[in-house]
Structure 1
Amino acid sequence: MAIKYVEERGLLYEIIGNGEKVLVRSTDSSSRAYLRFTNKTTRPVDIWWRDFRGTRHHYVCLESDAYYDVNTYITHPWEFTDAVTKERYCINNCHIYRPPVNLGGMQFRTNWNITIGVRSLRETCLLALATHIKKAQQVKYLELPKTLECELLKLVNLLHTEVVIDIERP
């Protein structure tokens, strides 16, 4: 059974068996874990850590096939998102990764592959269309239902909008 999460005001809660919400956060810093996160997707991935209050902190953006070494603790939760679309990625089919308890205290680094989770047919089709449609104006010619049109427009704009960084030089 898949773990369910709900996000409220920037905090993430795990829904446990009885329906109770439990804040996703770091809890203890006594048992170390030495990790390597490897991006096995074809997309850039943002790596996030949840602190003791449940606040999410950005660590790094990894390009495809790149890795990032982190020294952490077994109770500290990590998250992975597409740098552009913000789609949640996973390790071992879990959107929230916590190092296994048996890693606590080991003096060597273990590798964990970041992958794309299972997508619905709807998500897969929208993403495939969005990668081929270069201009938002083209979406209206598909004559899709409004809800699909809006979702597709959002994806097209995310994937094909150029980000311009203005660097001031002295």
Structure 2
Amino acid sequence: MMLTIYDDTLRSKESIDPAILLISNRTKRPVDILWINYAAKLIRYKTLRSGDEFQMNTFKTHPWIFRDYYTGLLMHVDHKEVFWPEASTDKRPIQHVRIHFPVQSLKTISLWACVQKVRNHNEITQMEIPQTLRNDLQTLFRQFYNHHVMLAQHAQRRQQQHRNQ
């Protein structure tokens, strides 16, 4: 459904074929660039503001995802959630990567609007809506909440690094 992303079999492999990327954020939101490392863990590489571009080096066998900084919603490249670079060649030294907002159903848009207004899990269980919608909303709420926990942890690490300097 919404934030399907991947399972733990999706991971970076050998670093043999280099790729140079020019990443463009075509959304109206800041987007996190996340590398899926060799252990299938997400590593935040950079946050790209709306309209900004960024050039980076990577490898053909390294998958990347792009998430809305505020909500954690997966953005797309060529209408796909996971981006796999192509190896750089003499004819195509730089690959242009254009991040765009995914096409969403009215149901998904509505669920996102609801989850941003819900304060806790109990509010969802008390809603008088069909159980399937309640389940979808609970799943999305957990993902939204976990994303915000990750943002808070990231901010704490940055503050700690500044204090240690």
Question: Which TM-score band (shorter chain)?
Answer: 0.5 to 0.7
Q: 2:59 aligns with which of 73, 81, 90?
A: 73
Q: Which runs of at least 4 in structure 1 moved beyond 3 Å after TM superposition? A: 4-7, 103-108, 126-131, 142-155, 165-169
Normalising by structure 1, what TM-score?
Answer: 0.62
Q: CA deviation at 1:71?
A: 0.8
The alignment partner of 2:28 has SS state of coil
Q: Which has the larger radius of gyration?
A: 1
Instruction: Give aligned pairs, total.
Output: 148
How do 1:120-135 and structure 2 match up within 5 A? 120-128=105-113
State whether residues 45 and 82 of structure 1, in contact with CA within 8 Å, keep that contact through their aligned partners in structure 2.
Answer: yes
Q: Which whole-Å CA distance do the structure 1 matches of 2:23 and 2:40 have between them? A: 21
Judging changes above 3 Å, is the alpha-carbon distance between structure 1 residues 105 and 32 closer, same or farther for their aligned structure 2 residues?
A: farther
Q: Which whole-Å CA distance do the structure 2 matches of 1:35 and 1:126 have between them? A: 33
Q: Which whole-Å CA distance do the structure 2 matches of 1:51 and 1:126 have between them? A: 30
Unaligned segments of structure 2, at least 5 residues: 146-151
Q: Which whole-Å CA distance do the structure 1 matches of 2:42 and 2:130 have between them? A: 35
Aligned position for 1:112: 97
Normalising by structure 2, what TM-score?
Answer: 0.64
Q: Which whole-Å CA distance do the structure 2 matches of 1:105 and 1:75 have between them? A: 19
Name whichever structure is richer in strand by fraction: 1
Name whichever structure is richer in helix by fraction: 2
The RMSD of aligned alpha carbons is 3.9
Q: 2:23 aligns with which of 37, 60, 63?
A: 37
Q: CA deviation at 1:53?
A: 2.5
